[in-house]
Amino acid sequence: MSEPPCHDGDGGPREACGLVGIFGHPRAAERVFYGLFALQHRGQESAGIAVRSSRGLTGHTGMGLACDIFTAAALAGLEGDAAIGHVRYSTTGSSNLRNAQPLLVDYARGQLAVGHNGNLVNAALLRKELEASGSIFQTTTDSEIIIQLMARPFNGSFEEVVANVMRRIQGAYSLAMLTPDALIGVRDPRGFRPLSLGSLDGAWILSSETCAFDLIGAQFIRDIEPGEIVVIDKRGPRSVRFGPAVRPARCIFEYVYFARPDSTIWGRTCHTVRKQLGRQLAAEHPAKADLVVAVPDSGSSAALGFSEASGIPFEFAYIRNHYVGRTFIAPSQVDRDLKVRVKLNVMPAVVKDKRMVIVDDSIIRGTTTLGRIAELKRAGAREVHMRVSSPPTRFPCFYGVDFPSPDQLVAARMPISDIQRFLRADSLGYLSLEGMTAACGGGDGFCRACYDGVYPIPPEELVAKECMERQRSDAVQAPALPAGPDGKAARTPRRGNPVRPSFSTQPREQR
C-alpha cells in the first residue's frame, strides 16, 4: 500500500489524528505548527491550533493541510507561550470544520482545549446518556464526549476530574489538553496510540511521534505511559495514574505502516522495525529473483530488509511524482491503470526480463496491487513475486484506523491462493502473525485485531463513523464480521443497541 499522499486525498487506511503540545515557549504556536507539519501523514482533512496568551485560550482551525491553514497572518494571531495542535482524519464524525480540533470551550471551570487521537468504543452510549441528562453537543465527534464529561459536576482537583473522566471513557485515546494553567497529556490504559514527552530550551513538548521533536529541535524524554496523565504547568511535569495496570494493546499497525519511518515509537525506530519485518518475510517466503523493489514509500524499509536477508539486490523500479496535488481529479472515463501511473511510473529499463520481488506493507482492497503488478509485467518483468510485510488484513479497526468494510478487504473475501490468482502474481507471500510480532519486539503487548480478529476492548456498540449524526435514527444491525483463520466468526460482542460498524463505508481509492 503506498503511503497516503499529502495532497491527493485518497489512499488506504487512515490514522485518526496527530497531536502536538508545547508549554513554556515564547513562540509556542509556531513550534506546534512545525510539529503538525511533521505529523501531516496522520491526518490531512483538517488541522487546528489552540494557544494560551494573556487573553486566555484562543484558537484557529481550518480544513485541509496545516501548511495551507496556518499562513503567516494566521500564526501571527496565535501569540502565546503554550499551545496544542491537531491534524485530523475523521474516524468518528464527518469531515467538516465544526469537527476540526482542538475543540475549545468555556465551561464552569474555565477554558479547555482538547485534541484527540483514537476512537472511543463507548462513544454512542455515552452520548446518548449525556444528551438524556441535558447535554447539548456542538460537534459529531466522539472527542466532544470528553469535554462534556469534564463539565459534569465533580468535587476534586483538576487532575482528579481528568482521571474521573478517563475512567468513564473506553477505547483508544491519546489526548493533548490545554487550560490557561497547564498542558495535559493522556494515554488510555492500553496505550493504543503513541504519545511522547520532550523538551526544547526549557519548554515541554508532547507529540504523537518523535519525528516532530526532530523537526523542531526538541529532545525526546520518554513516552507517556498507558494509563498515565501528565500535567505540565509552571512547576514542570507531574504524573497521575488513573486506573489499574492492564495488558497493553499498542497498535502494531503503527510499526507496519502508519508512523513515519524516522519516528521512534515505543522504543523502536520504525525504519529499523520495518527492515526487520522485511528480513523475517524473506526467511518465511524466499523467492528466486534478480531484483527486490519496493512500493514507495511505505514498502521501502521492508524491501531493504528483504534484500539484505535474501542477498537479492535492491533496485528502484518506480519514479514517484511528488507534484500530484489534491486538486488532481481523474477524468471520469480514465482507466484505473492510468490513475495508478499518475503517482508512480515504472522504469522498463530496470525491470525488463527480470524476475522481481515486489514488497509492500499491506494489501487492502487488492486493486492497486493488481495495477502495480500489471505495470511491472507490461514493462517487461519476466516474473513478479509479491511479498507483504504483514499478515492478511481481514478485520476492521475500532480504535482509530479507517479500514474499508470487510466486504472490501480482499483477504476477508478470499483465501491467499485466490488472491494470488486475482493479482496475477507468480507467487504471493504474507508475513505470519508470529513473524510480524517478533519483528516488532515480541511479547503480547500489541493490538493485532485487524489481523486476528481478537479485540482488546470489545466495542460497546459497533460504532459507525457517522454514528453521532445517527444518534436519533433507528438502530441498524451491523453486518457480521468475516470468519477468522480458524474458521470461527470474529468476536463481535454487542451491548446496547448496535448501530453501524465503525469502519467507513464510503468509497476510497480502490486498492
Q: Considering the complex, what minimum distance in angstroms separates the CB of residue 397 from ligand SF4?
A: 3
Looking at the Cβ atoms of 263 and 307, the one nearer to ligand SF4 is: 263
Looking at the Cβ atoms of 364 and 386, the one nearer to ligand SF4 is: 364
Q: How far apart are the first and last CA of the chain?
A: 8
Q: Considering the complex, what minimum distance in angstroms separates the CB of residue 266 from ligand SF4?
A: 13
H/E/C letters for each residue in 160-189? HHHHHHHHHCCECCEEEEECCCCEEEEECC
Looking at the Cβ atoms of 190 and 279, the one nearer to ligand SF4 is: 190
Q: Considering the complex, what minimum distance in angstroms separates the CB of residue 436 from ligand SF4?
A: 10
Residue in 17, 270, 440, 467 annotated catalytic: 17
| Residue 17 known to be catalytic | yes
Bridge partners of 46, per DSSP, are: 63, 88
Q: Cis omega (within 30 of 0) on the bond before 402?
A: no
Q: What angle do CA 507, 39, 201 make, to 5 degrees?
A: 165
Looking at the Cβ atoms of 448 and 500, the one nearer to ligand SF4 is: 448
Element (H or E) spanning 283, and its range? helix 270-284
Q: Considering the complex, what minimum distance in angstroms separates the CB of residue 360 from ligand SF4?
A: 16
| Cβ neighbours of residue 1 closer than 8 Å, sequence gap 6 or more | 11, 12, 13, 257, 295, 298, 360, 361, 362, 363, 364, 368, 511
Q: Are 67 and 120 in contact (CB under 8 A)?
A: no
| Cβ neighbours of residue 486 closer than 8 Å, sequence gap 6 or more | none
Q: Are 456 and 492 in contact (CB under 8 A)?
A: no
User: Can you tell me the distance from the alpha carbon of 358 to that of 56, in angstroms, rounded to the nearest whole number?
Assistant: 54
Report the Cα 179 to chain-centroid distance in Å.
26
H/E/C letters for each residue in 196-210? EEEEECCEEEEECCC
Task: Report phi then psi at 84, rounded to 5.
Answer: -125, 150
465 burial (CB, 10 Å; 0-12 / 13-18 / 19+) is buried
Q: Are 366 and 422 in contact (CB under 8 A)?
A: yes
User: Can you tell me the distance from the alpha carbon of 79 to that of 52, in angstroms, rounded to the nearest whole number?
Assistant: 8
Q: Considering the complex, what minimum distance in angstroms separates the CB of residue 62 from ligand SF4?
A: 27
Chain residues that interact with ligand SF4, rule: CB under 6 A: 192, 251-253, 397, 399, 401, 447-450
Looking at the Cβ atoms of 37 and 399, the one nearer to ligand SF4 is: 399
Looking at the Cβ atoms of 12 and 498, the one nearer to ligand SF4 is: 12
Q: Considering the complex, what minimum distance in angstroms separates the CB of residue 460 from ligand SF4?
A: 16
Q: Considering the complex, what minimum distance in angstroms separates the CB of residue 206 from ligand SF4?
A: 20
Looking at the Cβ atoms of 205 and 464, the one nearer to ligand SF4 is: 464
| Cβ neighbours of residue 269 closer than 8 Å, sequence gap 6 or more | 261, 262, 263
Looking at the Cβ atoms of 44 and 310, the one nearer to ligand SF4 is: 44
CA atoms within 13 A on the CB side of 55: 8
In angstroms, what CA-CA distances link 498 with 71, 82, 364, 385?
A: 43, 41, 26, 42
- What are the cell numbers at 298? 511505505
User: Can you tell me the distance from the alpha carbon of 259 to that of 261, in angstroms, rounded to the nearest whole number?
Assistant: 6
Q: Considering the complex, what minimum distance in angstroms separates the CB of residue 249 from ligand SF4?
A: 7
Q: Are 177 and 150 in contact (CB under 8 A)?
A: no
Q: Considering the complex, what minimum distance in angstroms separates the CB of residue 207 from ligand SF4?
A: 19
Looking at the Cβ atoms of 447 and 464, the one nearer to ligand SF4 is: 447
Q: Cis omega (within 30 of 0) on the bond before 102?
A: yes
Tell me which residues are annotated as active site: 17
